[in-house]
Amino acid sequence: MAVPDRFGLLPAGPLLLTTEETRLLWAFVHGDIMDAAVRSWQRASLGFCPRHTWAYAVVEIELWEAGVGGRGGHQPFDVCVLYEDLSRTLSDRLGRPRGWGRRAEAALVPSRRCYLCSQLAGTPREGFALGYANSNSAALAAEANLLRHTRRWCAATAEEWLPSACPDCLGGPVSGADDGGVPLCRLHLAEAVRAGAEDEAATAARLAEARERLASIAQRLAALARSMTAAGAAADARTEASWIEALGFFGGWQFPAYLAGIPASGAP
């Protein structure tokens, strides 16, 4: 049975990570993502829930200090690796013959709970929390919650990702996108299919657009990941925005819009 989604960070505002969320996500960045069973779980859960989709990016970008390029780190390399995989996986699913209605909806709805939510459901830790390599998780959470580097990424690339943002997430028409081709995030696309608000042809067009968009995002995520290696070519502005497009599609757009100073109407 499908696991229902929680709609993304409501109200749009600061994402204050707890010490335990930070501890678990810092460990995920350093090892869990490479585990085959965890990667299989991520494909079934379509990544993390909306909150932890963005929390994952925040932890990596804010806390990972080493890297090539002008930033010298503070880059979403791990995020690119995971969401390239998820984008290709979901694009392939949407490309399979499945018809309209519940079968199309099933491809867009997780079949497993968010991996981090599942971990957090265990017995809570008390007192000083050691994280990966005996790191001070409380101190790392305080640093991550400043959002300095994530805010810069979202603001600097806003012109690139805003036309791809879901208008239902932002509460109004998206600047730069025509009314006929406005993209929806995964959560609102699944809701539209579930509600049957459009006819079969309109739904098929929506799903085809999402499939093509995900394939394009996956290609740009791969290029962005390469740009963060010593041998990789520098990324252009659209490529630099690809990780925000991916996370916006899977987890909703309110959080990056908040960081970029875009009001709920979607206007810059």
Render each residue's pLDDT in the chain as its tens digit; 268 residues.
333 344 444 445 567 899 999 999 999 998 877 788 999 999 999 999 999 999 999 999 999 866 555 556 688 999 999 999 999 999 999 887 555 556 667 889 999 999 999 988 875 655 556 565 556 888 999 999 999 999 999 999 999 999 999 998 888 654 434 444 568 999 999 888 887 755 677 778 888 899 999 999 999 999 999 988 877 788 899 999 999 999 999 999 999 999 999 876 544 4
Angstrom distance (rounded) from CA 98 to CA 118: 30
Query: Which pLDDT belongs to residue 262?
Result: 87
In a domain, 210, yes or no: yes
Q: Which domain holds residue 32?
A: 19-258
pTM comes to: 0.86
pLDDT of res. 11: 43
Is residue 155 within 8 A of residue 259, CB to CB? The reply is: yes
The whole-number pLDDT of residue 183 equals: 83
Cβ-contact 9, 254 below 8 angstroms: yes
User: Whose CA is closest to 95, among 221, 212, 249?
Assistant: 212
Domain count of the chain?
1
The pLDDT value recorded for residue 260 is 93
Q: Is residue 14 part of a domain?
A: no
What's the pLDDT at 71?
56
What confidence score (pLDDT) does residue 267 get? 47
Closest C-alpha to 185, from 22, 40, 5, 39: 5
268 in a domain, yes or no? no
Per-residue model confidence (pLDDT) at position 13: 58
pLDDT of res. 50: 92
Per the domain annotation, does 87 fall within a domain?
yes
**HSE of 92 in the Cβ direction (CA atoms, 13 Å)?**
8
Does 1 map to a domain? no
Look at residue 7 and tell me if it is in a domain.
Answer: no
